[in-house]
Amino acid sequence: MKWFEIALVVLTLATGIIWLLDRLFFAKRRAERAGLLEEKEPVVVDYAKAFFPVLAVVLILRSFVAEPFRIPSSSMMPTLLIGDFILVNKFAYGLRLPISNRKFIDLGEPERGDVVVFRPPHQPDQDWIKRVVGLPGDVVEYRDNTVYVNGEAFGYRPVGDGRYVGEGRGREMTGAELLAERMPGREHQVLEITHLPFDPGQGEWTVPEGEYFVMGDNRDRSDDSRFWGSLPESQLRGRAFLVWMHWDGSAGGVDFGRIGNGIQ
C-alpha cells in the first residue's frame, strides 16, 4: 500500500505547511486588518489546523512504531490465516524514512525464524510476509520437504494426528500435513502437501551478505526466495508480532479467538 503511505506523507506536509505559513504570516495580517473585530480564518486554514496533528501522529506511529497489515493469501498458514489483521514492529530492525524506506538509525537485524514484512525486489509496490530461514552467508537447501542450513537439517514432528483442518478461506488446505519445524532455538508449525507429483522449490542457495532467505510456512503454496532469490535488507519493513483481528469475508465472520495472538 505504497500509495497510502505517499498520500499520508503529502497530506501531512501540506496541512503542516499551510498551518505554519498562516501562523507566521497570514494570521498577523488578518489581525491587523480586523482591528478590534476578529476576522474569520479561511476554510483551508481551519481544516489544516484540525487535521495536521492527527495526520502527524498517524504518520509517526505508522512509520516508526507499528503498522497494520492484512494477510491476503495462504502462504503463511498455519501461522497466519487469510484475513488476519496483524501489527508490524517498525523499529525492530532500525528506523526508516517513509516512502523511500531508507534506514537512518540501525537498531538490529532479523534473526532466524522472524516473521518479516517486506517489499520483494520484483514487486516493490507490494508488501509481502514470510519467515526468515537463512541469514547472510548461510547455505540453504530445500529437498524432500526438509530445510537444511549449512548442512544441518531442521527437525520435524507431526502435530496432533498430523493433518491440518482448514476453516473459512483456508479450507483448501484441509488434509495437508501439519508439522512442527524446529529451527535452532525456535519452533513453529508448517504445512506440507505430500501427495504432489513433485516437490516445488527444491535447490541450494548461498545467501549473499546484506540479504536474507525467506520462506512461507505453507511450503507448497508460497512464492518465496526459492523462486525469486534472496531478500535485500533494504527491502525490510518490520517484524510481525501480533494478530489484532481476524475476518476473511466468509460466513464465519470475525474470529475472536485469534485476537491478541502473538506471532511466533
Beta bridge pairs of residue 203:
142
DSSP 3-state assignment of 201?
coil
Rounded Cα distance between 53 and 15, Å, is: 9
Burial class, 245, CB count within 10 angstroms (exposed 0-12 / middle 13-18 / buried 19+): middle
From the candidates 130, 222, 225, 230, give the one annotated as an active-site residue.
130
Q: What is the distance in angstroms between the CA of the first residue and the CA of the last residue of the chain?
A: 25
Rounded Cα distance between 227 and 215, Å, is: 10
Would you call 75 a catalytic residue per the annotation?
yes
Would you call 74 a catalytic residue per the annotation?
no
From the candidates 63, 74, 75, 225, give the one annotated as an active-site residue.
75
Q: Write the DSSP symbol of residue 225.
A: H
What is the helix, strand, coil percentage profile of the chain, to 5? 25, 35, 40
Name the strand (E) or helix (H) holding 14: helix 2-21
CB 11 within 8 A of CB 104: no
Q: Which three cell numbers stand for residue 204?
A: 541450494
Rounded Cα distance between 169 and 164, Å, is: 14
CB 204 within 8 A of CB 139: yes
Burial class, 150, CB count within 10 angstroms (exposed 0-12 / middle 13-18 / buried 19+): exposed
Q: Which sequence positions are flagged as catalytic? A: 75, 130
